[in-house]
Amino acid sequence: MKKYYLITEKCRDGDQEYYSYIPVSTTTPRDKWDANWENLILCWQYSCEDIDSDGLWSDMRIVSIFEVKEINFDEHNTIGNLITDHFKLDEILEEGREHWVEYGLQEQQDNLN
């Protein structure tokens, strides 16, 4: 069964914070999402080049997932039409995984542990 979520990202740039929203759909239950899903989504959305104890960095900004909220089909369509597009979570994660590998972030994350 397809589920719909609104993912809220937080970006901190100096003293400024702003949020962006991504409506996603998936048939994968949330407890079965990739263990690294948050970082993969951020790598899809931003050009992340560094990870440290504070989090994931993109162009001197720290980025994170602020909230994930389950929404219904109508909310998903409305939000998608208003602010972005309609995204499939599996496609986002796959593209994010490519960026994660490209920027060598797994090695950086392993060095933190």
pLDDT tens for each residue of 18-70 = 999 999 999 999 999 999 999 999 999 998 989 988 889 998 899 999 999 99
Q: Is 72 helix (H, G, I), strand (E, B) or coil?
A: coil
Can you give the residue range of the structural domain that contains 107? 3-112
CA distance 101 to 36: 12
Q: What does the pLDDT read at residue 83?
A: 82
What is the pLDDT averaged over residues 2-27? 94
State pLDDT tens for residues 75-94: 999 998 888 678 999 999 99
The number of domains in the chain is 1
Around 41, how many Cα atoms within 13 Å sit in the side-chain half-sphere?
A: 26
Strands 87-88 and 16-26: parallel
